[in-house]
Structure 1
Amino acid sequence: MGILLALIPALGWGVQPLIARKIGGRPTNQIFGTGLGALLIGLVVLMGAGTVTDRDFAISFLAGLLWSIGQVGQFVAFTKIGVTRTMPVSTGLQVVGTSLIGVLIFGEWPGTAAKLIGLLAIILVVVGVTLTTVTDQATGGSSLKSGLLILVPTTVGYLAYSALPKALPANGLQLFFPEMLGIFVGALLYNLCTTQGRSLSEKTSWQNVLIGLIFGVSSLAYIFAAKLSGIATVFVITQLNVVVSTVGALVILHEAKTNRELKATLTGLGLIVIGSVLTATL
């Protein structure tokens, strides 16, 4: 049952970029819809999740707020370098960053053997990410650079979202609502700062609520799946989301690639997945 539940975030997180590109709108529209949809799922969970201390609420709220920064970075990167480049790079950065935080702060990967395997996994992910950025177009280098300048620093938001709750005693369900509330507030602040709130009334902002609903349900499924089958197993399965999003962008969004770019992207994608699997087994 846990493995079946893990397929929900693998598919849900994978189709989110495809839906965002299909619905359209600016990053302001997309992040507001994402935040509102996530909050709605959070409100449903709140009814039966129980309360948390003020400290746990504040930290998990902050984690959600910072997640919204990472998501804005993704939405902006989609417009600059497409889904097929954004998602592998974003996933690779998260795997490497989360692994390093786990080792340096939480004492994960104990023992020499584990650290060596972990280092190999990080190398595979880095090589995989590099391959997914291969481009043959003369103008591709400049657009790739502009996309990475947004994507790389904002990924810190995703890393904080992953790391902060690990330091709290409350369980995932108890932290779920404050995290979703933080995501919504972050989305609201971004809209107020960039469009003075004008985008809140635009049709595409409300259409993108679908993304937030999918994210919320997927995140909830991840919590239950991890309880049933363990975090390591579930993490491996959910990494399929990068395959879903990248292949989906090629097939559904028709993002163009030369034969050389396509081969490099698929090879890099495979290395990222293998590296992710290795980190989860430690």
Structure 2
Amino acid sequence: MGVLLALIPAFGWGIQPLIASKVGGSPSNQIFGTGLGSAIIGLIIYSMYGSVSGINFWISFGAGFLWSLGQVGQYISYTQIGVTRTMPITTGLQVVGTSLIGVIIFGEWTGVTAKLIGLLAIILVVIGVTFTAVQEKQQGASAKGSMTRALAVLVPTTIGYWAYGALPKAVDASGIHLFFPEMLGIFVGAIIFNLVTTKGKSFVQKESWMNGLIGIDFGISSLAYLFAAQAAGVATAFVITQLNVVVATLGGLYILHEVKTPKELTYTLSGLALIVVGSVMTAFI
């Protein structure tokens, strides 16, 4: 049952960028919809399970708020380099950053063997990300410029994902009780981003509300992950959910019809394999 539950976020998180691309709209529309849908699922869970309070509430809220920063970076990057390049890069950055935070701050990967295996895993992920970013020279300077701009957005905003993964570790409470403040934080982050970028104009645009599908998908997938981790263990659930990068990248190729040369496709598929292998290694240390 735990394995089957873990397949829900693997698929659900993987189709998020596909939904965003099909529904359309600007990054402002997409993050508002994400926040709205997440808040709806959060409220449902709050009515069933309740929530933490006090400082634990605000830590969890902050984790969700910072997650919205990372998600905005993804949405912006989709418009610059597409889903097939964005997803492997952002996944690699998340795996590397979250792993290093776990080692440096929370003392994970104890022992020389664990650290060596972890280092090898990180190297594999970094090589995999590099492979997925390969672009042939004939695409010209504009393609390289787009990649540079995308990385300038993705790298700093990924800090939001790192915080989302790290902050709840400072809270002594079950994941289900952290769920509502995290989703609320995402919604508030989305509102603030829209107020800053569109002065609130995006609130009345239909694309903003249609993108609520992304938030509902994210909320359900995140909830499924909590139950999967409880049933099958965190390591097993984490490994299975890493398939989301495969779903997103292949979906970008075959559903969104993003174009890659034969050489780029070979590198991308090889890079995906390395990212998944590296992620799996970190889960079993």
TM-score range relative to shorter protein: over 0.9
The question of 1:47 aligning with 2:50 is answered no
Deviation per CA, 1:94-153: give whole Å up to 9, x if none: 000000000001111111000000000000000000000000111321110011100110
Where do 5+ consecutive residues of structure 1 fail to align?
none
Q: Which residue of 2 aligns with 1:179?
A: 182
SS at match of 2:40: helix
One-letter amino acid of the structure 2 residue matched with residue 180 of structure 1: M
Q: Which residue of 1 aligns with 2:267?
A: 264
SS at match of 1:256: coil
SS at match of 2:208: helix
SS at match of 2:256: coil
CA–CA separation in structure 2 for the residues paired with 1:51 and 1:94:
27
SS at match of 2:46: helix
- Preserved contact between residue 51 and residue 181 of structure 2 (Cα < 8 Å): no
CA–CA separation in structure 1 for the residues paired with 2:109 and 2:236:
16
Q: Give aligned-pair identity as a percent.
A: 66
CA–CA separation in structure 2 for the residues paired with 1:147 and 1:280:
28
Q: Which residue of 2 aligns with 1:145?
A: 148
Cα distance, 1:48 vs structure 2: 2.1
Higher mean Cα deviation, 75-84 or 51-60?
51-60
One-letter amino acid of the structure 2 residue matched with residue 141 of structure 1: K
TM-score (norm 1): 0.99
Residues 65-144 of structure 1: matches in 2 within 5 Å?
65-136=65-136, 137-138=139-140, 139-144=142-147
- Preserved contact between residue 90 and residue 158 of structure 2 (Cα < 8 Å): yes
CA–CA separation in structure 2 for the residues paired with 1:49 and 1:254:
42
CA–CA separation in structure 2 for the residues paired with 1:51 and 1:175:
6
Cα distance, 1:49 vs structure 2: 1.6
Q: Which residue of 2 aligns with 1:235?
A: 238
Q: Which residue of 2 aligns with 1:246?
A: 249
The question of 1:13 aligning with 2:13 is answered yes
TM-score (norm 2): 0.98
SS at match of 1:182: helix
Where do 5+ consecutive residues of structure 2 fail to align?
none
SS at match of 2:126: helix
- Preserved contact between residue 51 and residue 180 of structure 2 (Cα < 8 Å): no
One-letter amino acid of the structure 1 residue matched with residue 72 of structure 2: V
SS at match of 1:143: helix
Cα distance, 1:50 vs structure 2: 2.7
Q: How many residues align?
A: 282
Deviation per CA, 1:204-262: give whole Å up to 9, x if none: 00000000000000000000000001100000000000000000000000000001100
Q: Which residue of 2 aligns with 1:2?
A: 2
CA–CA separation in structure 2 for the residues paired with 1:176 and 1:53:
12
- Preserved contact between residue 51 and residue 179 of structure 2 (Cα < 8 Å): no
